[in-house]
Structure formats: structure tokens, C-alpha cells
Amino acid sequence: MAKITIEREKCIGCGTCQALCPKYWKLADDGKAEFLGPQDLKNEETGCNQEAADSCPVKCIKIEK
């Protein structure tokens, strides 16, 4: 299982995660990223979440496998 977390205080609201992985990410009312999926995903389900984490300019999305 992979565990996905976000350090929201670091988020700058660029929307990259939402653009790359809209099934799991959106910008909340405060302009910061919000993870929509379950915290624990099967490793094969991390696909676009890994892309979002890798593309985040402030590296606030963490995936532990």
C-alpha cells in the first residue's frame, strides 16, 4: 500500500496536482490543494498521484510506498 499525505501549509495553490490528477486532487476554498482519495492506495493506483508529487514546485505531496 502507498500512503499519500500533503503538507498543506507549504502548498502555494498552483493547481498542478489538480491538472495532472483530477480524480484525486482539487483546490479547496482556501486555494490550497486537497486530496480527495483514500489515504492508502494500492501501489499500482499511485500513477497520476506520483506525477503530481514529482511535479509539485514546493514538494508538499508525499507518497510512502
Sequence-separated (6 or more) residues with CB below 8 Å from residue 17: 24, 25, 33, 52, 53, 55, 56, 61
Is the Cβ–Cβ distance between 20 and 51 less than 8 Å? yes
Q: Which residue segments constitute the domains of the chain, with CATH numbers given?
A: 2-64 (3.30.70.20)
Distances (CA, A) of 21 to 30, 53, 59: 19, 10, 15
pLDDT of residue 53: 97
User: DSSP 3-state assignment of 54?
Assistant: helix
What is the pLDDT, as a whole number, of residue 27?
A: 97
Whole-structure pTM value: 0.89
Quick one: pLDDT at residue 6? 96
For residue range 7-59, list pLDDT tens digits in order.
Answer: 999 999 999 999 999 999 999 999 999 999 887 888 777 899 999 999 999 99
